[in-house]
Amino acid sequence: MEKIAIIGAGLVGSLQAIILAKKGYKVDVYERRMDMRKADISAGRSINLALSNRGWKAIELAGITDEIMKMAIPMYGRMMHPIEGETFFQQYGKDGEAIYSVSRGGLNQQLMNSAEALENVDFHFDMFCLDVDLETNEVEFLNTKTDEIIKHKPDRIFATDGAFSAIRSKLQKTDRFNYEQMYLEHGYKELYIPATETGVYQIDKNALHIWPRGNYMLIALANEDGSFTCTLFFPFEGEKSFESLKTKADVQAFFSEIFPDAIALMPSLIDDYFTNPTSSLVTVRCSPWNHADKILMMGDASHAIVPFYGQGMNSGFEDCSIFNEIFEKHNRNWNISFQEFSKTRKKDADAISNLAIQNFVEMRDLVADESFLLRKKIEKKIYKKHPQKWMPLYSQVTFSHIPYSEALANGKRQEKIMDQIMAKENIQQNWDTLEIEQEILRLVDEK
Amino acid sequence: MEKIAIIGAGLVGSLQAIILAKKGYKVDVYERRMDMRKADISAGRSINLALSNRGWKAIELAGITDEIMKMAIPMYGRMMHPIEGETFFQQYGKDGEAIYSVSRGGLNQQLMNSAEALENVDFHFDMFCLDVDLETNEVEFLNTKTDEIIKHKPDRIFATDGAFSAIRSKLQKTDRFNYEQMYLEHGYKELYIPATETGVYQIDKNALHIWPRGNYMLIALANEDGSFTCTLFFPFEGEKSFESLKTKADVQAFFSEIFPDAIALMPSLIDDYFTNPTSSLVTVRCSPWNHADKILMMGDASHAIVPFYGQGMNSGFEDCSIFNEIFEKHNRNWNISFQEFSKTRKKDADAISNLAIQNFVEMRDLVADESFLLRKKIEKKIYKKHPQKWMPLYSQVTFSHIPYSEALANGKRQEKIMDQIMAKENIQQNWDTLEIEQEILRLVDEK
């Protein structure tokens, strides 16, 4: 029986443990932190997760859909909060299609419980990865509770140890390893909208709330207890920035002016603002993702992305289901599967990584733009009438299993078509005509 | 008196030591390797250096032009070696303009000697940098000869420790540090053309010899002793690649077919090919280059580039002269100077980094292309007649002190103009007409 080590008991590592254990392998999962099930989960830097179709597919593969669905709150669209005037709703996809707000901590605990329930899975907590010998595959850990050095020599290593992966740091020093870490000029800070005293949601729980403000934005996703976790995405430096809001009065004045309907729901705003950390937003790209047939990286370890397409976890989970397909296709040949996964999956990770950066502009700015909204309305109409000919990019990414790289390419083609359509005179008046519809279909068939 | 530590006694570190010491600072230079002046220089991975105007300017600033000129061999152009037919010569710039072949080892030793002749400079060899404390600025070294741990706490640190900088590794783990390392699909291997038995050059010493072969190439630069150092730039993998040439017979057959006039001059080819390492080609980009007013990176540590524009050393040396200008402009204010250098110089490093990658295609492929040669001929004519209106990109980069980023932008504008000119009917016949000349000048003025 082959011994597998998974480094990192986060979302992707815990899910991968279940999938591999179900094939009969002996799986040991090593986690740097303590067992989160025995501790308060550290709050203050947990951008809420939006689980969508790609994530669900891998959860299905692990056989734990029902358990996860119980803790998930469907969000059918974006609720826009302009600075003045009424909120308005933008449906994400077709009727019934939703992304699901889940608690990172709750989901991770459920994945750990499901993995640990399998007899061939063992979790090892407080295990700080010190080194991996790339010749022998021996991994060295410091047990941070006992100060013991622990050595383990698995047959295969799955490195799911996140954006600051220790295993990747080691690989980075090998020849011809390509690596990039790139930070946005924006950071984020977690804030909070509590439930009412009777435990009721203060705003619609079935929407992802956005306060788009051009260069920055606030968002809110529902928690199970009636509260919302909010995240302010804001420049680190500049005229309006984390740096410029120095005092309690600065924060109070800024939120009162810019987020008037939100501040009314946030009694602990000032405390939260100064207590919670300001965190940075990193994109990580690298290649190759494997070291021979010994080590394979997955999830944030090989492709950390910014959160603006809601695909960080989903792309990590999709790594698990796609690796599974490749692995079974090659009759569980580790060497071929590691190589093929590394080679074929990277282009999709690169695509979603770029889409996530682009979507920040869409979320914080374009969603409040009239021409953009008309464009989306036209696309939606064509999608509804001709679903074989046109699926909006957001739906391709969120509600389909089309490879991200194909979705990106399709999206670019569609954007060019829509640029032509939007450049037409009187499109504001004529958008709903048969002529425009036929013009779009003609352009689609032309490509 | 402020204490300055320079980490890395390579070309840039040694030059910077001279420049700073002449201002009166106490300078300690720490080098990982042994003193190269007391050892045979390791051969086999020393792509020959081509010193050009930007490098000379910094050498002038250090006051050692005469010493360096003695060891430099001017190269006035490229000598092209086609697979069949005669060699032909392409002049680099105006009459008398040259780039200079220098030995990396010889140059480095001269720089060390000049630095060490100053009473306030000390070199410390065999000092492996283990760590730097980013709070206190204390640097920890392992003396690899004595196994002692040495600690030193300078006021300022200049990190000139190369493409695999230990100081940068430390900075990479700080928040919001952007970093990229990217390898080409090609590697390189050093080869050798000896002098004749009477010590005479077998081919023209005043040219940079190129055997362009589409996807790969061989080059040769003269040494002072009558020999040439050759470098084969070749794909790691593929049909014709380092991987595909497995046996002595493979190498012999390949060179006989592809580099027939070169192999005739290379008696030790087979030995050299199998003895010398195959090395990779990395581009490194990062930001910021400074850590507060404590640490500043220069040269390959902050911007390693591929060698195809001959600007690796030159851009590193230009770092020294540009830092000097900024530093004096701000009355030797470290804080402002570190910040300004990091902010303003990076765009130029990015520009030359991109130009260097692009120039690989030009060197190995386009230089053998007729349309490309005509384009260069037209540019040269315009440059000669209207030097205020048109300077070819190569001259801007190599023979001017125009910031690299401006050269890149100018080059793009010129490329667009030349695209229009080359698209004209019968340009092969009409290129030397007044009409074409006036058309180009009109397009230049239009921009």
Kindly determine whether residue B178 and residue A182, on different chains, have CB atoms separated by under 8 Å.
yes
Three-state DSSP state, B446: helix
Cβ atoms of residues A240 and A222 within 8 Å:
no
Tens digit of each residue's pLDDT (9 = 90 or more) over A245-254? 999 999 999 9
Contacts of A171 in chain B (CB under 8 A): none
Q: How high is the pLDDT of residue A363?
A: 86
Q: Quote the number of domains for chain A.
A: 3
Kindly determine whether residue A172 and residue B180, on different chains, have CB atoms separated by under 8 Å.
no
Report d(CA A89, CA A42) in Å as an integer: 32
Backbone φ, ψ for residue A61 (5° rounding): -60, -35
**Domain-located, residue B98:** no
**Domain-located, residue B97:** no
Three-state DSSP state, A209: strand
Instruction: Kindly state whether residues B264 and B127 are assigned to the same domain.
Output: no
Q: Which residue of B has its CA nearest to A172?
A: B181
Nearest to B380 by CA among B76, B93, B53, B52: B93
Q: Which residue of B has its CA nearest to A164?
A: B173
Contacts of A175 in chain B (CB under 8 A): 183, 280
Cβ atoms of residues B349 and B303 within 8 Å:
yes
Closest partner residue to A179 (CB to CB) among B173, B176, B181 is B181
Contacts of A172 in chain B (CB under 8 A): 181
Q: Which residues of chain B carry a pLDDT beneath 50?
A: none
In the sheet that holds A49-51, the strands lie side by side as A49-51, A99-102, A73-75
Kindly determine whether residue A181 and residue B178, on different chains, have CB atoms separated by under 8 Å.
yes
**Domain-located, residue B196:** yes
Instruction: Kindly state whether residues A40 and A146 are assigned to the same domain.
Output: yes
Q: How high is the pLDDT of residue B40?
A: 67
Contacts of B177 in chain A (CB under 8 A): 181, 183
A295-297 and A156-159 beta bridge pairing: parallel
Over its C-alpha atoms, chain B yields an Rg (Å, rounded) of 23
Kindly determine whether residue A178 and residue B179, on different chains, have CB atoms separated by under 8 Å.
no
The amino acid at residue A96 is G
User: Is residue A180 within 8 angstroms of chain B, CB to CB?
Assistant: yes
Instruction: Kindly state whether residues A322 and A206 are assigned to the same domain.
Output: no
Averaged over A141-159, what is the pLDDT?
97
Contacts of A180 in chain B (CB under 8 A): 179-182
What is the residue-averaged pLDDT of chain A? 95
Instruction: Kindly state whether residues A345 and A402 are assigned to the same domain.
Output: no
Nearest Cα of chain A lies from the Cα of B370 at a distance, in angstroms, of 34
Cβ atoms of residues A78 and A92 within 8 Å:
yes
Q: How high is the pLDDT of residue A141?
A: 98
Find residue B124's DSSP bridge partners.
B30
Contacts of B180 in chain A (CB under 8 A): 179-182
Closest partner residue to A178 (CB to CB) among B172, B177, B181 is B181
Closest partner residue to B176 (CB to CB) among A176, A178, A280 is A280
Instruction: Kindly state whether residues B297 and B156 are assigned to the same domain.
Output: yes
Q: Which two tokens stand for residue B404?
A: 């690299």
Report d(CA B220, CA B226) in Å as an integer: 12
User: Is residue A181 within 8 angstroms of chain B, CB to CB?
Assistant: yes
Report d(CA B269, CA B276) in Å as an integer: 10
Report d(CA B309, CA B312) in Å as an integer: 8
Report d(CA A168, CA A285) in Å as an integer: 11
pLDDT of residue A40 exceeding 80? no
Report d(CA B191, CA B230) in Å as an integer: 5
Report d(CA A3, CA A341) in Å as an integer: 20
Instruction: Kindly state whether residues A373 and A241 are assigned to the same domain.
Output: no
Instruction: Kindly state whether residues A176 and A307 are assigned to the same domain.
Output: yes
Nearest Cα of chain A lies from the Cα of B304 at a distance, in angstroms, of 14
Report d(CA A67, CA B242) in Å as an integer: 53
Asked which of B228, B252, B280 is the last residue of a domain, the reply is B280
Contacts of A237 in chain B (CB under 8 A): none
Q: Looking at per-residue confidence, does A364 or B178 come out higher?
A: B178
Under 8 Å CB-to-CB from A246, ≥6 apart: which residues? none
Cβ atoms of residues A99 and A51 within 8 Å:
yes
Instruction: Kindly state whether residues A345 and A435 are assigned to the same domain.
Output: no
What CATH number should be reported for the domain holding residue B317?
Answer: 3.50.50.60
Instruction: Kindly state whether residues A224 and A234 are assigned to the same domain.
Output: yes
Cβ atoms within 10 Å of B97's Cβ, excluding its own: 16
Q: Looking at per-residue confidence, does A183 or A364 come out higher?
A: A183
Kindly determine whether residue B180 and residue A180, on different chains, have CB atoms separated by under 8 Å.
yes
Kindly compute the dihedral angle of the four CA atoms of residues A171, A175, A177, A183, in this order, to the nearest 10 degrees. 80
Contacts of B175 in chain A (CB under 8 A): 183, 280
Three-state DSSP state, B79: strand
Tens digit of each residue's pLDDT (9 = 90 or more) over A156-168? 999 999 999 999 9
Phi-psi sector, A438: left (phi>0), alpha (psi -120 to 50), beta: alpha
Find the helix or strand (DSSP H, E) in which B286 lies. strand B279-287
Contacts with A, B 269-288, CB within 8 Å: 280
Cβ atoms of residues B43 and B21 within 8 Å:
no
Report d(CA B392, CA B379) in Å as an integer: 6
Asked which of A330, A359, A388 is the last residue of a domain, the reply is A359
Q: Which domain holds residue B253?
A: 183-280
**Domain-located, residue A80:** no
Under 8 Å CB-to-CB from B440, ≥6 apart: which residues? B378, B382, B390, B417, B421
Kindly determine whether residue A180 and residue B179, on different chains, have CB atoms separated by under 8 Å.
yes
Contacts of A164 in chain B (CB under 8 A): 173
Q: Which two tokens stand for residue B87?
A: 């060699």
Backbone φ, ψ for residue B376 (5° rounding): -65, -35
Instruction: Determine which of B168, B183, B185, B350 to mutate to test the interface with A (most A C-beta atoms within 10 Å).
Output: B183
Report d(CA A163, CA B334) in Å as an integer: 34
Instruction: Kindly state whether residues A158 and A201 are assigned to the same domain.
Output: no
Closest partner residue to B175 (CB to CB) among A172, A180, A280 is A280
The amino acid at residue A334 is W
ipTM associated with this complex: 0.91
**Domain-located, residue B338:** yes
Q: How far is CA B409 from the centre of its chain?
A: 20
pLDDT of residue A202 exceeding 80? yes
Find residue A284's DSSP bridge partners.
A181
- Candidate from A55-64, A154-163, A283-292, A369-378 with smallest mean pLDDT: A369-378
Q: Which residue of A has its CA nearest to B280?
A: A176
Nearest to B120 by CA among B13, B211, B29: B29
Cβ atoms within 10 Å of B206's Cβ, excluding its own: 15
Q: How high is the pLDDT of residue B162?
A: 97
Asked which of B359, B383, B416 is the last residue of a domain, the reply is B359
Closest partner residue to B280 (CB to CB) among A173, A175, A280 is A175
Report d(CA B199, CA B316) in Å as an integer: 33
Phi-psi sector, B218: left (phi>0), alpha (psi -120 to 50), beta: beta
Q: Where are the alpha helices (DSSP H) in B70-121?
A: 104-116
Instruction: Kindly state whether residues B176 and B158 are assigned to the same domain.
Output: yes
Averaged over A418-439, what is the pLDDT?
94
Contacts of A173 in chain B (CB under 8 A): 164
Count of pairs with CB atoms under 8 A, one residue in A, one in B: 34
User: Is residue B84 within 8 angstroms of chain A, CB to CB?
Assistant: no
Whether the ω angle into residue B267 lies within 30 degrees of 0, i.e. cis, is no
Kindly determine whether residue B181 and residue A181, on different chains, have CB atoms separated by under 8 Å.
no
Contacts of B306 in chain A (CB under 8 A): none
**Domain-located, residue B93:** no
**Domain-located, residue B117:** yes
Whether the ω angle into residue B74 lies within 30 degrees of 0, i.e. cis, is no
Find residue A317's DSSP bridge partners.
none
**Domain-located, residue B86:** no
Distances (CA, A) of A302 to A12, A150, B388, B439: 12, 25, 50, 52
Q: What percent of chain A has pLDDT over 70?
A: 98
Report d(CA A262, CA A255) in Å as an integer: 8
Kindly determine whether residue B180 and residue A175, on different chains, have CB atoms separated by under 8 Å.
no
User: Is residue B172 within 8 angstroms of chain A, CB to CB?
Assistant: yes
Tens digit of each residue's pLDDT (9 = 90 or more) over A279-311? 999 999 999 999 999 999 999 999 999 999 999
Report d(CA A425, CA B307) in Å as an integer: 52
Kindly determine whether residue B180 and residue A176, on different chains, have CB atoms separated by under 8 Å.
no
Report d(CA A145, CA A126) in Å as an integer: 6
Predicted confidence band of residue A364 (pLDDT cuts 50, 70, 90): confident
Instruction: Kindly state whether residues B27 and B149 are assigned to the same domain.
Output: yes
Nearest to A279 by CA among A118, A64, A42, A440: A42
Q: Which residue of A has its CA nearest to B164?
A: A173
Nearest to A36 by CA among A13, A18, A54: A13
pTM: 0.93
The C-alpha angle A159, A161, A166, rounded to 5 degrees, equals: 85
Instruction: Determine which of B169, B171, B179 to mutate to test the interface with A (most A C-beta atoms within 10 Å).
Output: B179
Q: How high is the pLDDT of residue B366?
A: 76
Kindly determine whether residue A183 and residue B178, on different chains, have CB atoms separated by under 8 Å.
yes
Cβ atoms of residues A115 and A29 within 8 Å:
yes
